[in-house]
Amino acid sequence: MTLLKVYEANSNGMLTIEELSIYDDPEFAKKYDVERVPTILFIDNEGREVIRYLAAPQGGEIQPFIQALFVFAGAPNYYEATIKQNLERIPPSTIRVMLTNACPYCPNVATVANMFALASNGKIRTIIVDIMTNPDIGQYYDASGVPYTIVNDNKTLVGMVGANEIFRALIGGNINVQY
């Protein structure tokens, strides 16, 4: 929280950090279906959840978290133009990324998923799950290795996948996209 407060203080009012206990605000917890600790939510100005972390970002998980924080606060997003150009082809979607903080490939997949969600105007939602902290979720999705990415609960991408693979899973096509 100390680090997040530093980012908030230097964001020129573009980022607000709030720490809540599910006991402090049970209505908030109910509205956003917060049942686990830790849960970190990125909520846009319209009250839509864009990114959910079921993890305490540390180790390899910290880089995609901080990058998402910067973009959320207004920094440039590398994938924004491509996502916006193809927004009508993307159905409302959820990208789940199962990872561990020791995985060297997981940060890249989490970064792409987060950047897609931040560029989509609420059409894409990302859920980042540390399966060491939440083994039941990993077992539910049969995540035998990481990174393990699930798009809309029907398309599974195993291992190190790039932006093209995730994008194709979102639109249901087999195209090559230039960024």
The residue ranking higher by pLDDT, 40 or 13, is 40
The mean pLDDT of 41-49, rounded to a whole number, is 94
pLDDT of 173 reads: 66
Q: Ramachandran region of residue 146, left (φ > 0), alpha (ψ -120 to 50) or beta?
A: beta
pLDDT for 24 equals 79
Per-residue confidence band for 18, with pLDDT thresholds at 50, 70 and 90: confident
Measured CA to CA, the distance from residue 104 to residue 60 in angstroms comes to 7
Average pLDDT, the chain: 90
Question: Residue 174's pLDDT band (boundaries 50, 70, 90)?
Answer: low
Q: What domains can you pick out in the chain, each with its CATH number? A: 36-171 (3.40.30.80)
Residue-wise pLDDT for 87-120, tens only, equals: 999 999 999 999 998 999 999 999 999 999 999 9
pTM: 0.89
Please check the confidence at residue 177 and state whether its pLDDT lies above 80. no
> In 39-154, which residue ranges form alpha helices assigned H by DSSP?
62-72, 80-85, 106-119, 135-140
Average pLDDT, integer, range 55-84:
91
**What tens digit of pLDDT does each residue of 70-87 get?**
899 889 999 999 999 999
pLDDT attached to residue 59: 85
Q: Rounded to an integer, what distance in angstroms lies between the CA atom of residue 6 and that of residue 42?
A: 17
**The tokens of 56 are what?**
């305490």
- Residue range 115-144, pLDDT digits in tens: 999 999 999 999 999 999 999 999 999 998
